[in-house]
Amino acid sequence: MSAVSTPPVTPTPARRDAAATKAAILRAARYLLARHAHADITLKAVADRAGVSPPLILKYFGNKDTLFAQVMSFEADADALLAAPLERLGAHMVRHVLVSQSEQGADPLLRIVFAPLHGEQGDILRANFRRQVTERITARLDGPDAGLRAELAVATLLGLGVMYGIARGRDVRATAVDELVERYAPAVQAYLTP
């Protein structure tokens, strides 16, 4: 009886996890958008930062404008930021900003600070921020001056994000998240439920 010969097994290349790859591309684009003008960011720079090839970005997003339309949206970030009852929303938002920065290296709101760098794209960023973040918070608030209070609450969060992520405040970064939430959340909550 003769042995049947089988061709050698060629290992198949590891398949990419599409969701993880898309997330890495979006993180890279956000990182670059927070540091460079939109017009100066190339797909190659995004690809290099994400550890993928430029054609892969095109496969997932089609073009630079589609990619950055997602980066300039605050919809998913706002969903996570606002995922708490109003009476605990201040603490939830402060914790979310801190955990996003400390564990994920990205702030859910901070890219709005860089809108002036982006020309017309900055106008899109501002419009998205207003509609997807501040107007959603405003809609949840009761009482007078809801729009002003929502903007002040967001401004307070942005200040924390700037100190933690951009200025890299030594003492803020050395303090435990729970303690920061305990100290900072009442200031945010005071605007939400005066």
Per-residue pLDDT of the chain (194 residues; tens, 9 = 90+): 444 444 454 444 445 688 888 888 988 888 887 777 778 889 999 999 999 999 999 999 988 888 888 888 888 889 999 999 999 999 999 999 999 888 877 778 888 887 777 777 788 889 999 999 999 999 999 999 999 999 999 999 999 999 998 889 999 999 999 999 999 999 999 999 98
Inter-residue contact 156 to 187 (CB < 8 Å):
yes
At a CB cut-off of 8 Å and minimum separation 6, what does 52 contact?
21, 24, 25
Q: What is the predicted pLDDT for the residue at 2?
A: 47
Residues 75-192: name the CATH superfamily: Tetracycline Repressor, domain 2 (1.10.357.10)
- Per domain, the residue ranges of the chain are 18-71, 75-192
pTM of the model: 0.77
Q: What is the predicted pLDDT for the residue at 16?
A: 61
What are 85's two structure tokens? 């009852």
In CATH, the architecture of 18-71 is Orthogonal Bundle (1.10)
Inter-residue contact 38 to 121 (CB < 8 Å):
yes
Q: What is the predicted pLDDT for the residue at 15?
A: 54
Q: Give the containing element (helix H, strand E) for 192.
A: helix 177-192
Between CA 35 and CA 41 the distance in angstroms is 10
